[in-house]
Amino acid sequence: MKTRAITGFIFVGVMLASLLFGGYVFTLFVLAISILAVVEFYHLIGSTAIKPQKWGGILLVISIYLPLYQYLFKNEPLQNLLFCVPIVIALIISELYRKHLNPFHNIAYTLFGVIYAAVPFCFFYALAFIDGTFNMHYPLGFLLLLWASDTGAYLFGSRFAKHQLFERHSPKKSWEGFFGGMFISALLAAGISFYFNELSCIHWLVISFIVVITGTFGDLSESMLKRSLSVKDSGSLLPGHGGVLDRFDGLLLAAPLVFVYLHFVHIF
C-alpha cells in the first residue's frame, strides 16, 4: 500500500507538472506516454506466435504526433498525416521478410496497438488546444473528473458493494461503486465550473457523465484484454499500479468522446 501511495503521488505530480510547464512540455510528456503505452501493449500480447513490429509502431506514433503538433501550435495543415501511409505500407511489406508464423496477425496487432494505446492520447492532447491556444483547464479538468470517478467507485464499492457490475471481466466492480463514482465526479464537476469557467456547469456535468460511463467501459475493456491473456497487470512500470495501460485504461475510451463533445460545443 505504501509503494502504491508513493507511486501515485509521484505520478500525479508528474502529470500536473507537464500541464503547468506549458504546451511544449505537455507535448513531449503525452508523446512519451503514448510510446510507452504502445510498447507495453506489444509486450503484453507478444508470444512465440505473435510478434508485433515494435519499432514500426513507434515510428507510426511519432508520424501521427508530429503533424498534430504542427497543426495545434503552428496551424499547419494536417496533410502531413499522409506520411503515415508509406509507414503502414512499409509495415506490411517488411512482414514479408520477417519469416514469422502469423504475419497478418503481426500486422494487425501492430496497427491495433497504435489505435488502441496511442490514438486516444492524441485526443487527450488535443483537449488542451480546443480553444485554439494551449489551455490546461480542459485536460486538467478531464483528469480530475477521471480520478474522482475512480476514487468514488473505490470508496463506495468497498463500503456498499452488493451488485456486481460486470462479473465476467471485473468481479470487483459493482453498481454501487459505479454510481458512487458518478456522484463524486458530478460534485467535482460542479466545483470545477467555478474555477474553469470556459464552460458552464451543465457542460462540465455532461463531461463528468461521459468520463464516468466511458471510463468504466475503458477499464472493463482493458480487464477483458488482460483476462484473455491470463495476466494480472499490463506491465510493471508503475509499482503498485501495474503498467501505463492499467493507469490510463479509463482515458482510452473517455478522451476521444470528451473531445468530440467539446468540439461540437464550440461549433454550436
Cα torsion angle, 124, 249, 165, 163, sign: negative
- Averaged pLDDT score across all residues of the chain: 91
- The pLDDT confidence band at residue 97, using thresholds 50, 70 and 90, is very high
CA angle 118/217/125 to nearest 5° reads: 30
CA–CA separation, 156 and 169 (whole Å): 20
Is 242 in a helix, a strand, or coil?
strand
Of residues 183, 174, 256, the one with CA closest to residue 214: 256
CA–CA separation, 196 and 239 (whole Å): 33
Q: Are strands 170-174 and 164-166 parallel, antiparallel or unpaired?
A: antiparallel
Of residues 238, 117, 251, 249, the one with CA closest to residue 173: 249
Mean pLDDT of 4-20: 84
CA–CA separation, 31 and 65 (whole Å): 7
CB atoms within 10 A of CB 18: 19
pLDDT for the residue 238: 77
DSSP state, residue 166: E
Share of the chain above pLDDT 70, in %: 97
Residue 170 · residue 219 · CB < 8 Å? yes
Residue 255 · residue 120 · CB < 8 Å? yes
CA–CA separation, 3 and 164 (whole Å): 28
Share of the chain above pLDDT 90, in %: 66
pLDDT for the residue 24: 93
CA–CA separation, 28 and 18 (whole Å): 9
Q: Which three cell numbers stand for residue 200?
A: 458552464
Whether pLDDT at 1 is above 70: no
pLDDT for the residue 159: 82
- The pLDDT confidence band at residue 268, using thresholds 50, 70 and 90, is low
Mean pLDDT of 181-186: 95
Mean pLDDT of 238-250: 85
pLDDT digits (tens, 9 = 90+) for 37-76: 999 999 999 887 899 999 999 999 999 999 999 999 888 8
